Amino acid sequence: MNCLVTGGSGFIGKNLVKRLNQNGHIVKIYDRKEGNDILDLGKLINEMEGCNTVFHLAARADLRSNTGEPYYVYENNTVGTANVLEAMRRNKVKRIVFASSGSVYGEPNVFPTPEDAPFPKQTSIYAASKLAGEGLIQAYQEAFGIQGYIFRFVSNVGEHYSHGHVLDFYKKLKANPEEIQILGNGKQRKSYVYVGDTIEAIMTALQTTSGGVFNLGTDEYCNVFESLGYISERMGIKDLHIKTETNERGWVGDSPFIYLDCKKLNNLGWYPKLTIRQGIERTIDYFKEIGL
């Protein structure tokens, strides 16, 4: 493949680029950390020349920025995706892998949630921007013969993890190993997947299908107390006092339960190799390795 990876300097991007390089693919990174702007359509068109596959991972990913700068998050993610697709159309690039999110299901009634769950109601700006991206990819697929691989991720953990509750908890526990304050009542249940398994899932779908929508997660979930337990134990902390809030959600738009049905990917032969606990432990080990 001759690939462009938007967000190639981000958490999942770094892992993906490493894997693509190992497999001998030509890889170009398009990332704001490298001075590239996803809102600059002209530049995107130029940079995409010669590519045959785009991995579109670039996004403002912090769900908790929901209420602060909604317009900014939405513009970056939605117009960003529109720009990527338009640059693909102009360059006749026919394949896109898109990092969507399990949060597009809003607060579903069906668990584990399958890809064809009932038409969801959006609960966060971030998820709404991902849903918008999905729809636009599908429309370009229909109109211009683009192959779209849409992955609805649960939260990823592992090497190069850069934001989210595992890092937040790690930093807080380093500062104070005796007591920690968590967002919400701690009963929020989430599924997590190891980023190495995510990359493997993407490669499997690329090799065995011509596109589609794929849930990407593990067949388990844990609540905040459990994941905090994995983190603190790996850090060697005992006797931790946990302070909770009373609200069911950690922040506006936080989904109290995320657990995806991943049979579609499993039927392609992909299964995650790491459990949630193992993925989180590897994340903590990574923090230690880089001296965090």
Q: How far is the CB of 19 from a second copy (least distance, A)?
A: 28
Which range binds a second copy by CB under 8 A, 51-59, 78-86, 218-226, 279-287?
78-86
CA atoms of 25 and 28, how far apart (whole Å): 10
Catalytic position from the list 105, 126, 192, 221 = 126
Would you count residue 89 as binding a second copy (CB under 8 A)?
yes
Which range binds a second copy by CB under 8 A, 72-80, 178-186, 201-209, 220-228?
72-80
Would you count residue 246 as binding a second copy (CB under 8 A)?
no
DSSP reduced 3-state for 193: strand
Q: Which residues, 6 or more positions from 143, have their beta carbon under 8 angstroms from its beta carbon? A: none
Considering only residues 50 to 69 of the shown chain, the ones binding a second copy according to CB under 8 A are 66-67
140 is catalytic: no
- Going by DSSP bridges, is the β-strand pair 2-6/26-30 parallel, antiparallel, or unpaired? parallel
CA atoms of 44 and 256, how far apart (whole Å): 37
DSSP reduced 3-state for 290: coil
CA atoms of 237 and 220, how far apart (whole Å): 25
Residue 54 half-sphere exposure, CB side, CA atoms within 13 Å?
32
Q: How far is the CB of 252 from a second copy (least distance, A)?
A: 5
Would you count residue 115 as binding a second copy (CB under 8 A)?
yes
Q: 95 and 54 in contact (C-beta within 8 Å)?
A: yes
Would you count residue 215 as binding a second copy (CB under 8 A)?
no
Residues that bind a second copy (CB under 8 A): 66-67, 70-71, 74-75, 78-79, 82, 85-86, 89, 105-106, 115-125, 127-129, 131-132, 134-136, 138-140, 142-144, 213, 252-253
